[in-house]
Structure 1
């Protein structure tokens, strides 16, 4: 089944019916929200409540255990003071419900959840100050550290060996590389993959393990004002890419996505690293791997987005959001080289840590 056929495409009337039938709510406002391969709706009910209805694609809907774990993790983080969404129970007390729906490709089963709606503005819509970037690093490290305490009988399901978005899956890009035939950037992607295999893959045993959120990007973090010129993180969204990985993976992913819309992308790494290390200082092997892992995530994003567009041409604008500027950043990082980029990042991070620039509002 293609991605297009597995992605849900519910009409407003179908959403109204599901919300009423499963949760006993009368929807007064329904508004679509962007999504990569699922379908999300903002739903306001007539009694004043605000929610997000999330309908998983039919392929991922079959993996009940992983979805249950993600839902559990969101609740676990929320209970420990992190601004994660939580799932609301159906009328029968379930946090997830597998529903048979016809979206134009015959009846298929889609996992449905109603999540709390979190206030705030996505980082993508705000020019990221060093203070915001510091908070991003800090919350990313805090999240992974808190998840170390999580227990669940099926926690081993996060060992998603062939999950293409795990940073350890950079070698899997080989099977998609043909989508870049004729593009000069393909040479850089191949170079990054070769260096990853030679330099980072052998060091995996030196990295500290954890469960990764896996998608700390500028559309998955919400901000609210915190005083006249500062912001605090008011929401962490989309736990669909969770998997077992390493702390350094999460940091690399956060840096890469914070670079996307930033007018000075090379300067992003320093404050994010400083925020991260205020919670979880890096060891030597992790520091040494960071540059290549950030490039690896750019390559994943670029190649997998191109592949997705072939399957979902009607969703091209959203799918290529990151890739558009990502190509430029990847080329620039590659051109500058590891030594120069690391010097910029770690020098800047050290200055932050000495408190010369910033005071964190999350303390």
Structure 2
């Protein structure tokens, strides 16, 4: 936990982003505004003809792995070609989808990966009143993304063998190194208890989990939906492939359930709906089913602890970094009090009912 290191966050001004877009992509920007991001920088752009774009500038640390960035870009276009509404990168004037730009953002010259992305319509699920049935179809889409990624081919697939980052659900025990940010907060005891339960009940089962390429962050902020004529919400966009990795499918499911609970008015109904949709495409084995509850809790803990840690490190982005905090704290506490048996019983019973309804 070294706070003295130089911040990898890009800090481009609106003027710099406008000039960069013209220089690299030949696009004259007539309207520009910032979009929320964790450690990267995103801009909404509009050109002279009213065409919309998103300019994504990666943090300098993630920008170092150009092979991985190329694979993320490939995965987006691959999914798009298979009917999944993923955002895709547009070529620069020299035909590059991934452009490395050197700039001084108050910390000396650093290199950042820059991509001009398609703009997708819709609002994030966090801003949308989605129904249980909508969430069934979101769960189906999440599984369909991972099933489609099984067919992705590249000589650089080895770059996805990075299931060792802080945000991987393989590494829930690494939270212990950051727990001092929770000192004085009673939630710290719940986080410690989740870590202990994870070690005892999940870690021994990991080798039996099914593995493949996963998006890694299909959260309520990274899925866009638009309402159709009947009032249902249809997924219109899948964003942010920066956590693409060779990981465990049940991790993808757990991450989605956790984040989709955050802004939902009936959070306990989310798990069964997403699970039913997921299982219509991919199945879970017994060890995965038995671990799902603790994996969801593990991601709540990661989001709350790392969010608080990064908010101290990057106070100018505190509001976004603590997006999970209020609802996440309440939900983690509630799930822990209800306990594994009761929550799993509800999730799997709800999933069974929804699956039967979907087949009728």
Q: What is the TM-score normalised by the length of structure 1?
A: 0.96
| Counterpart residue number, 2:348 | 346
1:6 match: secondary structure: coil
Equivalent residues in 2 for 1:204-215 (5 A)?
204-215=206-217
SS of structure 2 residue aligned to 1:235:
strand
Instruction: List per-residue Cα deviations over 1:144-185 (Å, max 9, x = no partner).
Output: 111111111111111114311111111211211111122111
Secondary structure at 1:35's aligned position in 2? Answer: coil
Separation in 1, partners of 2:184, 2:227 = 46
Contact 1:3 1:312 in 2 (8 A): no
Q: Deviations over 1:186-214 (max 9, x none)?
A: 11111111111111111112111011211
Name the structure 1 match of 2:328. 326
5+ residue gaps, structure 1 = none
Does the 8 A contact of 1:136 with 1:254 survive in 2?
no
2:126 paired residue among 119, 124, 143: 124
Deviations 1:105-150 (A, max 9, x none): 2221111000111111111111221022112111110011111111
Task: Give the distance between the partners of 2:344 and 2:83, measured in 1 at CA.
Answer: 33
| SS in structure 2 of the partner of residue 19 of structure 1 | helix
Gaps in structure 2 of 5+ consecutive residues: none
Correspondence for 2:267: 265
Aligned to 1:26: 28
How far, CA to CA, are the matches of 2:163 and 2:281 in structure 1? 28
Summarize deviations over 1:3-41 as a string: whole Å, max 9, x none: 872111111111111111100110011111000000000
> Distance between the aligned counterparts of 2:4 and 2:11, measured in 1?
14
Which secondary structure does the structure 2 equivalent of 1:18 belong to?
Answer: helix
The answer to whether the 8 A contact 1:85-1:116 is kept is yes
Quick one: distance in 2 between partners of 1:170 and 1:328? 20
Which residue of the partner structure matches residue 317 of structure 2? 315
**Which residues in structure 2 correspond to 1:176-195 (within 5 Å)?**
176-195=178-197
Q: CA deviation at 1:2?
A: 5.8
Contact in 1 for aligned 2:123/2:225 (Cα 8 Å): yes
Are the aligned partners of 2:130 and 2:233 in contact in 1 as well (CA < 8 Å)? no
RMSD: 1.5
Aligned to 1:95: 97
> Which residue does the alignment assign to 2:67?
65
| Shift in CA distance, 2/273, structure 1 to aligned 2, threshold 3 Å | farther
Q: Does 1:140 align with 2:142?
A: yes
SS of the aligned residue for 2:184 comes to coil
- Select 2:235's aligned residue among 219, 229, 233: 233
Match of 1:39 in 2: 41
Question: What SS is found at the alignment partner of 2:213?
Answer: strand
Q: Conserved in 2, the CA contact under 8 Å of 1:221 and 1:235? A: yes
CA contact (8 A) 1:4 1:312 kept: no
State the SS of the aligned residue for 1:94: coil
Q: Structure 1 stretches (4+) deviating beyond 6 angstroms?
A: none
Rounded to whole Å, the distance in 2 between the matches of 1:73 and 1:174 is: 33
Q: TM-score, normalised by structure 2?
A: 0.96
Cα displacement (A) at 1:359: 8.0
| Aligned match for 1:218, one of 210, 217, 220 | 220
